Amino acid sequence: MYKLDQRFVKNNRDPEDVAFGAAAKEDGRLFYNDAGFLLALAFADGALYGYDTFADLRQQVIPPDRDEIPLRFKDEVLDLPIARKCTKKDGVTNDPMSQNQFRTISQSSLVNAGYHWRLQIHAIRRQVGKGLDMANCSSVDGQAAFREEESDHRHVEYFQGLEKFRENGLPTRLPAHLEKEVERDPELCTLKAEVQRLRTEGKNQDFTVAQRRLTTHSTRLKKAALDLYQECWIQERRDWIVQSRGRQKAKDGSKTVLAPSIYNLFPERGRLARAMASTHALPVEEMWAALQDLVTLCRRDMDTVYLPGSRPVDGLCPICQRRMKRYVSNMLPLTYFG
């Protein structure tokens, strides 16, 4: 179990008391085991005092006269953010992950799962609050109460939940012809020409500013176009279900066609995907193995991707026993060894 302190609390009326604590504990289902995720991140950073690996932690015994053992972070990492900013150039930095980065990852996960609605953290807080506030009248089944029957909240849960926003097969990318339409936007073309001119003239500072404006405008255009395309797609899908009377099954493209290839390169991801999909509590050994896979992925150098059995051992090629360092330095950032 752990306690998370929030430094700043919204609408806090006591300026001297700026911390708000929330307690949580581990869960036998990997998907909900946030305590395990926090532990894996701590091991990936080498942040725990007295423990370097999961094996060290599993050797710990709680004395008979105690119910728990508090774990602490090393002094040198107390000011290090847990969720940190990552860049292609520097990898994991010491800067905190921005809210925009967090929201982008969260919303991308929802879209990939087929949810068209952009979920906000406030919606999660409201939903959790409803579960804690038993006096919330919006969740009352008034008809059942009037008839003195057992309450059925399925309709209430539907309108208050996210399921109404979900559509199987929801596209996550624009079709090629719509992307070309976006590329023909007049302002976008002007910004591209300006970036090209500044690149040729070698004006680094002006080029950086223009490149940022180009990226921002392009992202805004593509997001707006994708939102509109998704709305039209959903409407057409629902109309088609009505027209076919629901007797025909949609042939949606699978979003997991690349998964086997990814799992071949990263076996840990395949094992984690299966564990995360389980709705039942994992056996203790499987949970420890899953958390170890998380640590392995966090620590792995992603500059070079190897097929199973081809990763260097102590810097040596596992096949010819030649040192690999001199070969990697001259290769592209992402290189495959088979």
DSSP annotation string for 199-224: HHHT-HHHHHHHHHHHHHHHHHHHHH
Examine residue 142 and state whether it is found in any structural domain, yes or no: yes
Q: Is residue 130 part of a domain?
A: yes
Q: Is residue 106 part of a domain?
A: no
pTM summary value: 0.63
CA distances from 260 to 146, 257, 263, 265, 334 (A): 54, 7, 5, 9, 19
Under DSSP, the state recorded for 75 is: G
Across the chain, what does the average pLDDT equal?
A: 79
Question: Higher-confidence residue: 46 or 131?
Answer: 46
- Could you tell me if residue 138 is inside a domain? yes
Number of domains in the chain: 3
Domain assignment of residue 324, given as a range:
260-281+299-337
Q: Tell me, yes or no, whether 75 and 136 share the same domain.
A: no
Longest CA pairwise span in the chain (Å)? 80
93 and 129 belong to one structural domain: no
Q: What is the mean pLDDT of residues 44-61?
A: 89
**pLDDT confidence bin for 331, thresholds 50/70/90:** very low
57 shares a domain with 14: yes
Which pLDDT band, with edges at 50, 70 and 90, does 135 fall under? very low
pLDDT of residue 336: 41
Mean pLDDT of 258-279: 88
Do 81 and 19 share a structural domain?
A: yes
Give the pLDDT confidence score for residue 337 in this predicted structure.
42
CA distances from 58 to 3, 49, 95, 293 (A): 21, 14, 31, 16
Task: With respect to residue 33, please indicate whether it lies within any of the assigned structural domains.
Answer: yes
Q: How far is CA 37 from CA 51, 82, 275, in A?
A: 16, 11, 13
Pair (91, 7) in one structural domain = yes
Instruction: Give the count of alpha carbons within 13 A of 88, CB side only.
Output: 2
- Evaluate if residue 37 carries a pLDDT over 70: yes
pLDDT at residue 45 above 70? yes
Q: What is the mean pLDDT of residues 82-95?
A: 86
- The torsion defined by the Cα of 81, 84, 85 and 86, in degrees rounded to 10, comes to 140
Q: Which has more pLDDT, 203 or 171?
A: 171
